[in-house]
């Protein structure tokens, strides 16, 4: 199937998805379940990776900045900038694309091949709206929370690394964290995260929704969901950076 | 009443249904019979609009369903109960939640009223102790029965059952047949049942259409079917030792 056809199908599915839910109460219940599934359950992995990456970046920065002419607080500052601008929004989104994307695609794909989506349809329900809208909503609300959390944990990881290894003083590190605060950087990170969250949930929803066949195809769709959303995340990262930071 | 008018359906060049016309009557159990692979499921899915027909139309009480937009189809579908061949239960929900699902979506009943209704229909399919179980914890026959309970929970005007009693023991199968025919009369539903079970044919076959190689081969009722001289139908009807003995 051609790329244009796929994009067309995706847009049509999104039009079906973005309709008013049949019943607000049912939607809120689904949304709550998806918060739990897609958001809350990802806290552990996000915390773990952010902590380590923050520590590693601080150590790499210290390794790079060993000229006596460069002030040591730059270690804290560059760690902060890297976490906010790229590591937390983009790398965490890529990790969530793997975790959340595959789970969305396989859940919806399984419902497709076991005729559960047909069952919804013949009950008079709009299955795209019922299944995909809560997932997109959950991801778009929860991923920014996870990214803020990831920034915090990452900087803490850097501080811990600095304190343990003694490459610079923790006080200098904290001074670095506090220098040149740029609220727009946070806004840029949040805009990216929301766009990436939408990509992850909608692309994976589409891949699951359009599965044809059996369990093998469900597995394949879930792999494709991760690959496609990862590629799109990187492409949109470049586009958004070009639009917002230059 | 559902009128099927000249419908044909093919998949990538493979003709599955050819020019089928028939009428499924109200207040009657209408059976679609035929060998495995003859096109029964495809015909039923064309009727409920899960497959688009290549040509022809399906008319519900004078309403040309096939020509409706997806959004308009939804209104008619709220009056349908459908039992899929595989059950199609929502596997993340318990039995109770599955049966309650359409009630949650389309009624303003209180939880107690809904629960009463759920227990009522579950009792009718002889399942009263499985409310909290998940589909993965049920036997094949139990899945069928929960799916029937879900299909009838909303008192549909049209009931479609794809092999409601395959995989059930003879006693439960008979019970399900009796239940479906009872409900059909009680609520004056238009019921369409796919089956290749001769016992169902004889028990509840008030109007029977026989599909062979994707064509409508014969129409009649359960009295006429034993006297037919249509060779393909005879082959189908008297395929088992049991039916051959009945004939003798
Ligand atoms: N989605 C589909 N895509 C392509 N071919 C299909 C599809 N669904 C059914 N067919 C084909 O249509 C024909 C009729 O299938 P159908 O499922 O209607 O048989 P059936 O009469 O219900 O059989 P059974 O009694 O075994 O359920 C088969 O040859 C099948 O391969
Ligand atoms: Mg079938």
pLDDT in tens, B178-214: 989 999 999 899 999 999 888 899 899 999 999 999 9
Question: What distance in angstroms lies between residue B20's CA and the mean position of ligand 2's atoms?
Answer: 17
Other residues' Cβ atoms within 10 Å of the Cβ of residue B151: 26
Give the pLDDT of residue B240: 79
Q: Mean pLDDT score of chain B, rounded to an integer?
A: 92
Predicted local distance difference test score (pLDDT) of residue A123: 94
pLDDT confidence of residue A110: 97
Decide: B34 in ligand 1 pocket, CB within 6 A.
yes
Closest ligand 1 atom to Cα of B34 = 21
What per-residue confidence (pLDDT) applies to B233?
A: 87
B214 CA: nearest ligand 1 atom = 14
Order of strands across the sheet that contains B55-60: B14-24, B2-11, B55-60, B63-64
Q: What pLDDT is recorded for position B60?
A: 95
- The domains of chain A are located at 38-119+140-245
pLDDT of residue A66: 74
**pLDDT bracket for residue B218 (50, 70, 90):** very high
Closest CA to B58 of B45, B70, B41: B45
Q: What angle do CA A215, A216, A220 make, to 5 degrees?
A: 115
pLDDT (0 to 100) of residue A5: 94
Q: Tell me whether residues A116 and B101 touch, CB distance under 8 A.
A: no
pLDDT at B17: 95
Give the distance from residue A164's alpha carbon to the nearest chain B alpha carbon, in angstroms. 47
Cα distance between residue B150 and residue B130, in whole Å: 14
CA of B238 to the centre of ligand 2 (A): 20
Model confidence at B166, pLDDT cuts 50, 70, 90, reads confident
pLDDT in tens, chain A (246 residues): 689 999 999 999 999 999 999 888 999 999 999 999 898 999 999 999 999 999 999 999 888 887 777 788 889 999 999 999 999 999 999 999 999 999 999 999 999 999 999 999 999 999 999 999 999 999 999 999 999 999 999 999 999 999 998 888 888 889 888 888 888 999 999 999 999 999 999 999 999 999 999 999 999 999 999 999 999 999 999 999 999 987
Cα of B98 from ligand 2 centre, angstroms: 23
Structure confidence by residue, pLDDT tens digits, B67-87: 999 889 999 999 999 999 999
Element (H, E) at B173: helix B170-186
Distance CA B89, CA B162 (A): 14
Nearest CA to ligand 1 atom 17: B41
Tokens of residue B87, six digits: 């059950």
Q: Is the confidence at residue B90, as pLDDT, over 80? A: yes
DSSP A169: -
| Contact assignment for A122 to B77 by CB distance below 8 Å | yes
- In short, whether B212's Cβ falls inside 6 Å of ligand 1 is no
Q: Which ligand is located closest to the Cα atom of residue B42?
A: 1
Contact at CB, A23 and B104, closer than 8 angstroms: yes
Write down the pLDDT at residue A148: 96
C-beta separation of A7 from A122 below 8 A: no
In sequence order, the 6+-apart residues with CB closer than 8 A to the CB of B80 are A122, A123, A124, B48, B156, B157, B158, B159, B160
Residue spans per domain, chain B: 1-79+195-248
**How far lies A129's CA from each of A41, A200, A209, B105, in Å?**
23, 17, 11, 13
Cβ neighbour number for residue B230 with a 10 Å cutoff: 15
What count of CB pairs under 8 Å joins A to B?
Answer: 53
Element (H, E) at B2: strand B2-11
Tell me the CA–centroid distance for residue B219 and ligand 1, in Å.
21
What is the C-alpha end-to-end distance of chain A, expressed in Å?
Answer: 37
Q: What is the pLDDT of residue A1?
A: 66
Ligand with the closest atom to the CA of B211: 1
CATH topology of domain B1-79+195-248: Rossmann fold (3.40.50)
Which residue lies with its CA nearest to atom 11 of ligand 1?
B16
Please check whether residue A196 is in contact with residue A236, taking contact to mean a CB–CB distance below 8 angstroms.
Answer: yes
């Amino acid at each position: 199937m051609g790329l244009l056809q796929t994009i067309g199908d995706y847009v049509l599915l999104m039009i079906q998805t973005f309709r008013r839910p049949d019943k607000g109460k049912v939607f809120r219940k689904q949304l709550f379940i998806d918060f739990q599934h897609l958001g809350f359950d990802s806290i552990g992995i996000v915390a773990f990776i952010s902590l380590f990456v923050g520590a590693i970046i601080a150590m790499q920065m210290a390794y790079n900045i060993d000229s006596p002419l460069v002030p040591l607080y730059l270690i804290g500052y560059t760690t902060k900038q890297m976490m906010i601008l790229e590591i937390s929004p983009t790398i965490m989104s890529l990790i969530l694309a793997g975790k959340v994307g595959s789970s969305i695609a396989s859940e919806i794909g399984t419902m497709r091949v076991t005729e559960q989506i047909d069952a919804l349809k013949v009950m008079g329900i709009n299955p795209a709206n019922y299944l995909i809208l809560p997932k997109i909503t959950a991801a778009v609300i929860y991923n920014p929370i996870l990214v803020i959390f990831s920034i915090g944990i990452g900087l803490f990881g850097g501080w811990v690394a600095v304190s343990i290894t003694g490459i610079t003083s923790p006080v200098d590190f904290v001074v670095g964290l506090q220098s040149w605060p740029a609220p727009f950087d946070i806004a840029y990170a949040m805009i990216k995260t929301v766009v990436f969250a939408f990509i992850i949930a909608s692309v994976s929803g589409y891949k699951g929704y359009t599965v044809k066949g059996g369990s093998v195809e469900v597995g394949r769709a879930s792999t494709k969901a991760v690959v496609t959303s990862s590629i799109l995340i990187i492409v949109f990262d470049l586009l958004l950076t070009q639009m917002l930071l230059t | 009443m559902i009128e099927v008018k000249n419908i044909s359906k093919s998949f990538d060049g493979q003709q599955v249904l050819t020019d089928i016309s028939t009428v499924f009557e109200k207040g009657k159990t209408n059976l679609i019979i035929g060998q495995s692979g003859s096109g029964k499921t495809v015909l039923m899915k064309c009727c409920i609009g899960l497959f688009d027909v290549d040509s022809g139309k399906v008319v519900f009480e004078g309403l040309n369903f096939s020509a409706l937009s997806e959004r308009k189809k939804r209104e008619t579908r709220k009056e349908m109960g459908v039992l899929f061949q595989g059950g199609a239960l929502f596997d993340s929900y318990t039995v109770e939640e599955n049966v309650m699902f359409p009630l949650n979506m389309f009624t303003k009943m209180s939880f107690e009223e809904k629960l009463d209704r759920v227990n009522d229909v579950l009792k009718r399919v002889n399942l009263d102790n499985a409310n909290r179980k998940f589909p993965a914890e049920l036997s094949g026959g139990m899945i069928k029965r929960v799916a029937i309970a879900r299909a009838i929970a909303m008192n549909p005007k049209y009931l479609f059952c794809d092999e409601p009693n395959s995989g059930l023991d003879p006693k439960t199968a008979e019970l399900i047949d009796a239940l479906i025919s009872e409900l059909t009369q009680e609520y004056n539903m238009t019921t369409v049942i796919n089956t290749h079970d001769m016992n169902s044919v004889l028990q509840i076959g008030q109007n029977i259409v026989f599909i062979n190689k994707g064509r409508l081969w014969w129409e009649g009722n359960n009295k006429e079917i034993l006297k037919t001289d249509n060779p393909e139908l005879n082959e189908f009807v008297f395929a088992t030792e049991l039916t051959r003995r009945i004939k003798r």
